[in-house]
Structure 1
Amino acid sequence: MVTSIKATVLETIDMGIDHRNPKASQQGGTALDDNEMHRMGKIQEFKRNMRPLAALSFASVLQATWEYLIISNYQGLENGGLAGMFWSYIWTFIGFGFIIASLSEMASIAPTDGGQYHWVSEFSSPRYQKFLSYITGWMSVLAWQSGTASGSFLTGTIIQGLISVRNPDYDPKGWQGTLLVFSMVLVAYIFNVYASELMPILSNILMILHVFCWVVILIVLWAMSPHRSAEAVFVSDWENIGGLPTMGLSVMVGQISAIYGCLSSDACAHMSEEIKDAGKNVPRAMAWGYFINGIMAAILLIAYLFATPSVMDSLNDVTGFPFLYVFKQATNTAGVNGLTVIILLPVIFSNIMFNASTSRQTWAFARDKGLPCSRWISKIDPKRKIPVNAIALTCTFSCLLSLINIGSDTAFNAIISLNTAALMYTYVISITCVIWRKIRHPDTLPVRQWDLGRNWGLAVNIIGLCYSVFAMFWSFWPGELPVTVENFNWSVVIFGAVFILSLIMYVIKGRNEYSGPAVDVKHED
């Protein structure tokens, strides 16, 4: 993954900018930011108050790979065991690396909050850009909305699990967990609306917390937990508790836990219009944030797997969370509570940032008239300079999606599968379009500050595309057999319903009102 900055060309662009968008400079952007917004035909609506360190911190804290990998590995342990969980993470981390490299290059070319649907529109064939971009926009909204819901779902139900730790007689109910999820959504709303100006400094502080909590958990697992053998962790402990026909199939289904931990690395792209010198700092934050998080997660995952005495006992723990079982083996009840709080704190703030990124992505698609009630959703609060309506809509969607928990014991698996499938769909389409552009019209791609190169870049894109298809395919599979109403993977139903709805909306409304961002893009003579 090579980054080359074509300084001479960029300086020429900088000196030749036609400042037709004075709001961009007034909002804290650079000359290149002005030029990029002008080229994309967009008006600067937000303040560019994020510097390089804040952007990197935002990307790292939001992705929270080690946190999510530890607290949401039920399916990976059930279908794969210790060895399956470890090796599935390794190939997931490598495969996602090619996706992130591809997305980073596209984010450098077109640093806009819209992300994938904008890239599809700009890079695809003019004949198909409108339709492909519209459907991708809907799937991107679905992906990010379900991802935001999954974070709030996790924190709310983990709090419910802690109640079970303190009171073994407590009988957790789905509706109670849902109410706790609602409370987490409320926290995200309050922070995003009333403390939005603190996001840059908060990101930097939380990066310190992110690393500090990692160190504490790592020390406890290594120093205080009983340890399995290296052979069990890396070689012999393969599990197929879900009852799938073969061990290989079981591991493929179980890799959803590893995939979920690596998702949302493109979050920074959806904050592009609030990051200074976005064409350079957004792809850097995406790539370095992914790499730093991935290495931290790999180290902690190894410690966690060594500290898991019994996969079956961890899955059968009364709390429903294997990591709480592991903590119980290392310490007492008070210690379990303390360690869980140490994990919950960065995850809660990750949810807050997730809401921010999701609301911007939704706002951007509404700005391009891709959603119903686009005028209302795309409104910017004139005082706070944030999309308050999009934030409220995001919180509402999180609450609605969490209602699945009332009727299904595998609600979380359905939500993360939905998040994975929809996001992978957007990766497949956007990477396919940039591959097409590089092959058919390579000279029409703008100069960018993050350039993978012509030959290596195309190879990276193709590998990233193949892995995206691979991950999307496995995200729809059920985790257990036989399939019942309780353990059914509802993601395929919701994904299919939204996909069909987007087709209907395109026929009814989109083909007349939605033009696609490409029509506003200005090309160099």
Structure 2
Amino acid sequence: MVNEHPELKETISDRDPHVHAEPDREACVETDISDEVKKGFTLNDQRDMHRMGKKQELRVGRNFRLVNTIGFTSCVMGTWEILLTSNTQGLKAGGRPGLLWSLIWSYCGQTFIVLSMAEMSSIAPTAGGQYHWVSEFAPRKYQRFLSYASGWLSTLAWQIIVALDCYLIGTIVQGLIFLENDNYTPVRWQGTLLVMTSSIGVSAFNIFAAKRLPLAEGIFVSCHFFAFIPIIVTLLVLGPKVPAQEVFTGFTDYGAGWPNTSWTVMVGQVTGLFTVLASDSVAHMAEEIENASTIVPKAMVWAFVLNIPPTFAALLAYLFTMPDVQGALDSPTGYPFIHVFHNAVGHTTGAMIMVVIILLLMIMITISSLASASRQTFAFARDNGLPFASLIGAVHSTLHIPMNSIIGTCFFSMAMSLINIGSTVAFNAMVSLSTVALMATYLISITCLVLRRVYRNPPLPPCRWSLGRLGMPINLLAMVYAIWAFFWCFWPNSYDVSAENFNWAAVLFVGVMGISTVMYWLHARNVYEGPVARIDGRKFN
């Protein structure tokens, strides 16, 4: 399936005859950057940056190698932890089998998206990710607008993902407090303060411990892959068991009210869709990864595959030891998984230890997610896609990290947490928007890639990680799945729609697209050229 072009192996003397207007070695090597920034900056990395018209400014990631890059991607995805902490909607609409089967087909469909993104990340290994790929592959007439819209959607999605992760940390802490003292009543403003504290903490780590991020990712991934073992062993040994029929075929509607089972499960699949997202996280770290054009796609695919076994192991243990789904959904802790843990071990201390393990893993996931979000935001600002672009797109002169973007991400998460004080519905709607927005960026970028394959004007640039002849069918299947997921993400949580259960993601998505369109025609079209304008020094109109 994958072809790694031998003519593009990492050698100083190598020249690829297929690269358009390939510059000589001196033209590729950047001489105005410090030795610290150059560390791990290989010749192939220099070629890629030169072709994309980018200057190497970031330091830490060229210290990333394959193993800790896989670790980083795995932590951002955090599939089994995210599934345990964010499965309420999936359980409500379909019950145990609804959650299980929707995750299975979500993994199947997302596989084609991951493979498509892996190839695009090898062609253009840049922190911009989707909006850059759209700029490269879209028809010239629509390059700037589609790239600009994709940049806004990607920025919004990743900012909301960080806000969600911080929200989970803060409210899980509240759940722990309730376990210790069942007289405690979780209050929204207290949860908001905890969310703000978590946002500040993970941001501080990304700023002051940035140099140690590759080492930290090695620790993170070890915890990610091995911490689930004591969790599932404890559940399976101590917890009550339900018959296999209830897990695999006992579809149930717990209050969603849809007319039939199929409809119920389709609406509830949003949990599965959200769980398998975020493989593009490593693409946004591409400018900080040594030999990025091969390491990024490999890490993207391997992290996705390696996360499958622990995710299903944790899910099956969780479902088989949940005798009362409605009781778990109604848990005063706010989280079904905390109810299941407490019910399995039978005492508070043991349950708290298990929840603390999940909490620590969520902190690790959030640290990695913020790193990706800040790099994506930095890249889009660097290309004049955001207001205050010169400020957000700046790199700290001594730390060599996009510190302003990290701080901005922190403030965005804190602002999002304020919404929770007034209404959890509004906050949950913004969270749903992240899935829709990210899926939209996948769909736009892959569609543009398909058009480029069809019309070949100009042909796709060569890449060191290629899907070969399977590229077109994989891309088409990815588009079908993205359209399917995009459609179902807009459905309300219940059949009897009200202000409390309406899926406001549809309104917010249309609103964001409308605002970005207005901003583009009023201002951005005069300052935003799109990354493709800098490729090989060419300017497209």
Query: Structure 1's 15 and 440: CA in aligned 2 closer, same or farther, altered over 3 A?
Result: closer
Contact 1:359 1:387 in 2 (8 A): yes
Superposed CA deviations along residues 2-23 of structure 1, whole A, max 9, x for unmatched, are: 2211112554239954325233
Q: Are 2:7 and 1:8 aligned?
A: yes
Map of 1:178 onto structure 2: 192
Q: Are 2:448 and 1:433 aligned?
A: yes
Residue segments in structure 1 that go unaligned for 5+ positions in a row? none
Contact 1:136 1:426 in 2 (8 A): yes
Q: TM-score, with normalisation over the residues of structure 2?
A: 0.94
Contact 2:79 2:276 in 1 (8 A): yes
Please give the alpha-carbon distance, in whole angstroms, between the structure 2 residues aligned to 1:467 and 1:496: 21
Query: Structure 1's 328 and 170: CA in aligned 2 closer, same or farther, altered over 3 A?
Result: same
Residue 46 of structure 1 aligns with an amino acid whose one-letter code is L
SS in 2 for 1:128: helix
Please give the alpha-carbon distance, in whole angstroms, between the structure 1 residues aligned to 2:113 and 2:34: 30
Map of 2:43 onto structure 1: 31
Please give the alpha-carbon distance, in whole angstroms, between the structure 2 residues aligned to 1:488 and 1:76: 16
Map of 2:517 onto structure 1: 503
Map of 2:163 onto structure 1: 149
Residue 164 of structure 1 deviates from its aligned partner by 1.6
Q: Are 2:281 and 1:228 aligned?
A: no
Superposed CA deviations along residues 295-348 of structure 1, whole A, max 9, x for unmatched, are: 210121111110110111111111121101110111111111100011111111
Q: TM-score, with normalisation over the residues of structure 1?
A: 0.96
Please give the alpha-carbon distance, in whole angstroms, between the structure 2 residues aligned to 1:409 and 1:128: 38
Matches for 1:433-472 after TM superposition, within 5 Å: 433-441=448-456, 444-454=459-469, 456-472=470-486
Query: Structure 1's 381 and 221: CA in aligned 2 closer, same or farther, altered over 3 A?
Result: same
Residue 24 of structure 1 deviates from its aligned partner by 8.9
Contact 2:95 2:250 in 1 (8 A): no
Contact 1:409 1:487 in 2 (8 A): no
Residue 430 of structure 1 deviates from its aligned partner by 0.2
SS in 2 for 1:403: helix
Map of 2:57 onto structure 1: 45
Map of 1:247 onto structure 2: 261
1:278 to 292, 296, 316: 292
Please give the alpha-carbon distance, in whole angstroms, between the structure 2 residues aligned to 1:300 and 1:409: 27
Please give the alpha-carbon distance, in whole angstroms, between the structure 2 residues aligned to 1:494 and 1:187: 29
Please give the alpha-carbon distance, in whole angstroms, between the structure 1 residues aligned to 2:75 and 2:46: 28
Please give the alpha-carbon distance, in whole angstroms, between the structure 2 residues aligned to 1:309 and 1:9: 56
Q: Are 2:213 and 1:204 aligned?
A: no
SS in 2 for 1:337: helix
Map of 1:21 onto structure 2: 30
Q: Give the length in aligned residue pairs.
A: 522
Map of 2:354 onto structure 1: 339
Superposed CA deviations along residues 258-304 of structure 1, whole A, max 9, x for unmatched, are: 11111111100000000000000001111100111122101211111
Please give the alpha-carbon distance, in whole angstroms, between the structure 2 residues aligned to 1:412 and 1:224: 36
Superposed CA deviations along residues 151-174 of structure 1, whole A, max 9, x for unmatched, are: 111111111112122222222122
Map of 2:129 onto structure 1: 115
Residue 67 of structure 1 deviates from its aligned partner by 0.4
Please give the alpha-carbon distance, in whole angstroms, between the structure 1 residues aligned to 2:307 and 2:330: 29
Please give the alpha-carbon distance, in whole angstroms, between the structure 2 residues aligned to 1:523 and 1:491: 40
Residue segments in structure 2 that go unaligned for 5+ positions in a row? 17-21
Please give the alpha-carbon distance, in whole angstroms, between the structure 2 residues aligned to 1:214 and 1:358: 26
Please give the alpha-carbon distance, in whole angstroms, between the structure 2 residues aligned to 1:442 and 1:325: 57
Residue 230 of structure 1 aligns with an amino acid whose one-letter code is A
Q: Are 2:103 and 1:89 aligned?
A: yes
Please give the alpha-carbon distance, in whole angstroms, between the structure 1 residues aligned to 2:387 and 2:149: 14
Map of 2:305 onto structure 1: 291
SS in 2 for 1:515: coil
Residue 42 of structure 1 deviates from its aligned partner by 0.5
Contact 2:8 2:464 in 1 (8 A): no
Superposed CA deviations along residues 30-57 of structure 1, whole A, max 9, x for unmatched, are: 1100000000011001121111111111
Map of 1:75 onto structure 2: 89
Please give the alpha-carbon distance, in whole angstroms, between the structure 2 residues aligned to 1:471 and 1:205: 33
After superposition, the CA RMSD in angstroms is: 1.7
Identity %: 43
Please give the alpha-carbon distance, in whole angstroms, between the structure 1 residues aligned to 2:269 and 2:211: 38
1:128 to 121, 142, 157: 142
Residue 483 of structure 1 deviates from its aligned partner by 2.6
Tell me whether 496-505 or 482-491 shows the greater mean CA deviation: 482-491
Contact 1:260 1:416 in 2 (8 A): no
Contact 1:381 1:387 in 2 (8 A): yes
Please give the alpha-carbon distance, in whole angstroms, between the structure 1 residues aligned to 2:49 and 2:438: 25
Residue 152 of structure 1 aligns with an amino acid whose one-letter code is C
Map of 1:238 onto structure 2: 252
Query: Structure 1's 228 and 376: CA in aligned 2 closer, same or farther, altered over 3 A?
Result: same
Residue 463 of structure 1 deviates from its aligned partner by 0.7
Map of 1:356 onto structure 2: 371
Contact 1:272 1:278 in 2 (8 A): yes
Residue 264 of structure 2 aligns with an amino acid whose one-letter code is S
Please give the alpha-carbon distance, in whole angstroms, between the structure 1 residues aligned to 2:500 and 2:181: 26
Tell me whether 398-407 or 34-43 shows the greater mean CA deviation: 398-407
Please give the alpha-carbon distance, in whole angstroms, between the structure 2 residues aligned to 1:247 and 1:409: 27
Query: Structure 1's 175 and 296: CA in aligned 2 closer, same or farther, altered over 3 A?
Result: same
Superposed CA deviations along residues 455-507 of structure 1, whole A, max 9, x for unmatched, are: x1110001111111111111122212433333332322322222111111101
